[in-house]
Each structure stands twice: as structure tokens, then as C-alpha cells.
Chain A
Amino acid sequence: MTFCTLTIQQAREGLRARQFSSVEITRVFLTRIHELNPTLNAYITVNDDEALAQALAADARMARGDDTPLLGVPIAIKDVLSTRGLRTTAGSRILENYVPTWDATSIKRLRDAGAVFLGKTNLDEFAMGSSTENSGYGVTRNPWDQTRVPGGSSGGSAAAVAADLCCAALGTDTGGSVRQPAALCGITGLKDTYGRVSRNGLIAYGSSLDTVGVLAKTARDAAIVLSVIAGCDPLDSTSVDTPVADYPAALNGSIAGLRIGVPREYFIDGMQAEVTSAVRAGIEQLRQMGATIKEISLPSTHVALPVYYLIAPAEASANLARFDGVRYGLRVPGNDLIDTYGKTRGAGFGAEVKRRIMLGTYALSAGYYDAYYIRAQKVRTLIKQEFERAFDEVDIIASPVTPTTAFKIGEKVDDPIQMYLADVFTLPCNLAGICGISIPCGFDAANLPIGLQLMGKAFDEINLLRIADAYQNETSWHMRKPVLS
């Protein structure tokens, strides 16, 4: 049996039936990571010793009859979520030696559910990017074509799941950072509703947009992880006290009568034709399964990108002020305190992070605040209202995830606007605070995966996951694997 291809569901079944132990499968994953990671660079830090200890503890718990949703299941964690005792870099050299003394709430919930942490995955520095090329620890390579990017910012998590270097992984999604790499790596990526999962312990980028999400091999696995990490948290005042559903139990395979809206603004000039046709075919598949399809309009879609690239950098410029070389991280001594701040941050941050701090600082500065930041927030209201009106008519919105399949490493690195356009279809979901998922729906002629995006109203993860799971019952795109030596 090839343990590495196990889904969470299969891993739990096998562990429960004593077909294998957690230590056994954890060792197999660690061996594969050490074999493939030098090329793929999906992990920044491999957690060998602790993972085996966690696996041993999980096996002992199972021997006592314990049965929790992730007991003994090896997973990976995006390196922007704080893990007690395990280095957390946020992909930045400024945090090269940072070891958190406490767990993020989502991490604590995974621990309590019995998960085994294989390691911390690569990302664009502070989750700012769409290709993982902005990492301070080198680019991650797409398992489907190693000359191409895996997407970003959760590119390490996406590549690790696609290359079977874990059963599933946590990611974060501020503007598409779970869904876009999931699409480019041919896996399932869930961005839950803002407030569904605690952000406590997530190193902040854009606080009104940041969400903790799941990268998995199936929608069912994403549902299993969501059930574990979702819920209100006194340590995050923006986590919402809405009941957490038993998401896996809600996956009944039936989508009959569900109304799906297809926004015409999500099919634009310049898109790769193969993406358009695969997404259209995926929507047709849903129709054949019993959903009703309706064309809708989200007229402000084209301004989501400038809105996002004012609001997110503005929030980032405030959030990243904490990296001042005093309490943690790098310090480069200067002539006085201000000089120390500048030298520390100038040396510790990479080019894209500095670019966004500059952009955000400008948008918030006197004289420009109303014209840029407040105006962007007002247009954000329009975008949110358009989604609310759309959801009066339909239950789910279907669209492409990205305009193209995975692009070449280096192709867009010197052109911020071209890079930002990779997120043009994923940003609106974050601005509106709703939930979305990316599922594989085809491949292009170069055998690169294509993703179908489904978006649901706030806190309607049930319908989102139900439709994604039903689609995966009827199709096999999500089961294709890249060829890796």
C-alpha cells in the first residue's frame, strides 16, 4: 500500500482498522519529504522528531480506544501559523530564528484532534504573493512541472498536498492564497468565511481579509479539517459565535435543486481558452447532476483588484509595524532607534513586502487617505452588496479560480500588476467576507491542472462542501497525480 496517497478519510479508516500505525505512515511521509523536498522546496522546516513523538502518542491514544477526527493523521502547516516550540518564519528572513512560545488557536485545535505535524510549509513572505517566489527561503516548484510556480501564497502547502508529502495542509487566504495555489497544483482548497476560524496566532497580513483555510486531496477531507478548526475563540474578537456544523456528515452527495449562478464578469478577454472551456464543462457537469444554472452579473468585479491592493497593503503596513527588532526577530543596529528600525526592516523584509508597506503607508498618509483608502473601502461595500444581491437569487456562484494555469518561475516577478492579476477572480470573495473553494475540473494541453471556484454565502460552508464533494463523486480530476521520481 502506498501510504503517501492516503486521504485523511482513508488514513483514519486504516488507523482505526489497525491496518497500519501512525508511526508507520509518519515515517513513510518523512522519508518521502527528505527525498523530494530538496527539489520541490515545499517545506521550510521538517518536524522529524516531534512528528514521530506525536505519532507515537496518537498510537497510544488509539490503543486506549480514543477516536478523534485527525488522530494519527500526518499533516503540514503553512509557516505563518504559530506553532509552540517549532520555528515559524512567515517566509521572512526577519523571523529566521523565531520560535513561538504558544500555539495559534487553529493549531491547538489540530493538536487536540490528534494530528501529526510533519513540518512548516513555504509561502510568499508574510503571505504576500501569488507564486511563492517572494519567499525568503527559495521558490517552491510545482509538482506538475518543476519549471513552474505552485501559486501562492500557500504554495508550499499546495505542492506538499499535490506531491503526497502530507495527507492535507493548513493554509491562509487573504486574497486567494488557498484557492489559487490549489487550482495551480490540482488539489482542493477551502477558504472559509471570515470569522469562521480563529485568526489568533496567525501572523497578520490584512486583518479584515485574513482567513485560515484547508488544502486537501478531497472536499470531504477539507470538511473534516474545517470541523476541527472552526469555531468561536475568545482570543479573536472577530471570530463569530455561529454553531459549527458537522460538515462531513452534511456531505450527502445530493445537489438537486441547488441554484448556481455564473457571473459573466468572470470570463474575460485574455483568459486561457482551456481554462474557460474546462470551467464551463465543470458547470455543465453540475447541471447534469441536478443543479440549476443561471447567468448572473457582479458588475464591480473589475475594480476588486485595485480595491484589494489599497486595503490589504494599508492593513499590512500597520500590522508589520510590529517588526521593529525589539521583541523578536532580526535587529540591525543603527545610529539611533529610528535608524535601527529602518535598517532592521530594510534588511529583514523582501522586495514585495517593502513594496506593499510603501503602498499601504502612502494610501494611509495625510492627503491621500480619503482619495485612496476610504474610497477603496466604499467600493468594497459595493462589491459586498453585489454578492448579497446575487445570493438572493442563487445558492452558489461558480467561476474560474485563475485566468491561466501555472506560469513559469520568473515570468511575472518584475511586473507587480501582472502578478496581481493572477488573483483577479479570488479577491472579491475576501473583500465580501464569504466562503469559497477551488476544486480540480480539468487539465490543459501541457497537463497542468485547472480549478473550478465555487463561492457560497457567509457561513454556508455546508452547501459549498456538499456541492464540491458531490462533484468529486462524479469526476476523477482530483485523483490525478503528478509524475514524480
Chain B
Amino acid sequence: MAHLTAEEVEHIALLGRLSLTEEEKARYAQQLSAVLDYAVELASIDVEGIPPTATVLAAHNIMRQDDLPSLSIERDDALKNAPRTDGISFEVQATFEDRDA
């Protein structure tokens, strides 16, 4: 039986970049445990020597010249749906603090 603790749920939510309410954390701890219990069935299946399937296609690298500039979109179009821009770029909060400031 998988039983996710409150700490585990908080850790996963941080990894998934999801701010959750206390009520959501409690609910997901219970529901995710139930789904993971269901997945326990897989542990009983013999997969010795079986390769994983990441794609059903016979995947291979496709190489081409970097010559499709027409597929790019214009800057104004790229910015059209952005929540905040200065007209030429997306505006976001700083990723790193400026330690010298």
C-alpha cells in the first residue's frame, strides 16, 4: 500500500511548481495513494528482458539542414499572448538575485 505523507505531497507539488491549498494537499495525498495502489498490479508482471516502449514508432534521428526560417514567427506575434512585455521581450521576475547590489 502506497501512502503518501504530507511531506511527500508538498515535495511533489514543489517539483511540479503547483501551489496547493491545505485542503488540496490532503485530498491529493489520499487520491494519489489510491491510484498508486492500483499500479501495484504492475509489480507482479514479469518484465525481465523486456525493453521499455517510449514511442510506438521505430524512432530514429531525422537530420536536416537548418533552413526553415519561414516557420519562425514574428516577434510581435510571439508577444501577443504574453501577460507582461515591454514591447520587445517577455517580462519576468529575476531568476537570480544580484549579490553585488
Residues on A lying within 8 angstroms of B by beta carbon are 97-99, 101-102, 194-195, 208, 234-235, 237-238, 240, 300, 302-303, 305-307, 309-310, 317, 321, 324-331, 333-334, 336-343, 345-347, 349, 351, 354-355, 357-362, 365, 371-372, 374-382, 384, 416-417, 420, 432-433, 458
Q: Which of B17, B38, B55, B90 interacts with A208 by CB under 8 Å?
A: B55
In Å, the complex CA distance between A328 and B77 comes to 11
Contact B17 A321 (CB under 8 A): yes
Q: Which of A102, A240, A310, A337 interacts with B57 by CB under 8 Å?
A: A240
Residues of B within 8 A of A333 (CB): 93
Q: Which of B15, B43, B53, B71 interacts with A361 by CB under 8 Å?
A: B15
Contact A208 B56 (CB under 8 A): yes
Q: What are 12 residue pairs bridging A and B, where the CB atoms are less than 8 Å apart in the complex? A: A99-B81, A326-B82, A329-B83, A334-B19, A346-B18, A357-B18, A358-B16, A358-B28, A360-B16, A378-B53, A382-B45, A416-B35
Which parts of B37-93 form the interface with A (CB within 8 Å)?
38-39, 41-43, 45, 47, 50-57, 62, 68, 71, 73, 77-78, 80-84, 90, 92-93
Residues of B within 8 A of A339 (CB): 19
Residues of B within 8 A of A328 (CB): 81-83
In Å, the complex CA distance between A101 and B19 comes to 30
B13 within 8 A of A: yes
Contact B84 A331 (CB under 8 A): yes
Given contacts A355-B28, A377-B52, contact A417 B19 (CB under 8 A): no
Q: Which of A195, A354, A417, A458 interacts with B38 by CB under 8 Å?
A: A417
> How many residues on the B side are at the interface (Cβ–Cβ under 8 A)?
51
Instruction: Write the chain A residue with the least CB distance to B77.
Output: A101
Contact B17 A345 (CB under 8 A): yes
Contact A327 B57 (CB under 8 A): no
In Å, the complex CA distance between A360 and B17 comes to 13
18 A-B pairs besides A307-B42, A328-B83, A342-B18 with CB distance below 8 A are: A101-B78, A194-B57, A234-B68, A309-B38, A326-B83, A326-B90, A331-B83, A331-B84, A334-B19, A336-B93, A337-B94, A345-B17, A358-B9, A358-B16, A359-B36, A362-B32, A376-B42, A416-B31
> How far in angstroms is the closest Cβ of chain A from B72?
11
Given contacts A327-B90, A331-B84, contact A382 B50 (CB under 8 A): yes
> How far in angstroms is the closest Cβ of chain B from A195?
6
Instruction: Write the chain B residue with the least CB distance to A346.
Output: B19
B1 within 8 A of A: no
Given contacts A354-B28, A355-B28, contact A384 B56 (CB under 8 A): yes
Q: By DSSP majority rule, is chain B's interface helix, strand, loop, or mixed?
A: loop
Contact A342 B19 (CB under 8 A): yes
Residues of A within 8 A of B84 (CB): 331
Contact B18 A375 (CB under 8 A): no
Q: Which of B18, B35, B41, B56 interacts with A354 by CB under 8 Å?
A: B18
In Å, the complex CA distance between A238 and B62 comes to 10
> How far in angstroms is the closest Cβ of chain A from B3?
13
Residues of A within 8 A of B36 (CB): 359, 362, 372
Given contacts A354-B24, A355-B32, contact A303 B42 (CB under 8 A): yes
Instruction: Write the chain A residue with the least CB distance to B14.
Output: A342
Residues of A within 8 A of B81 (CB): 97-99, 101, 327-329
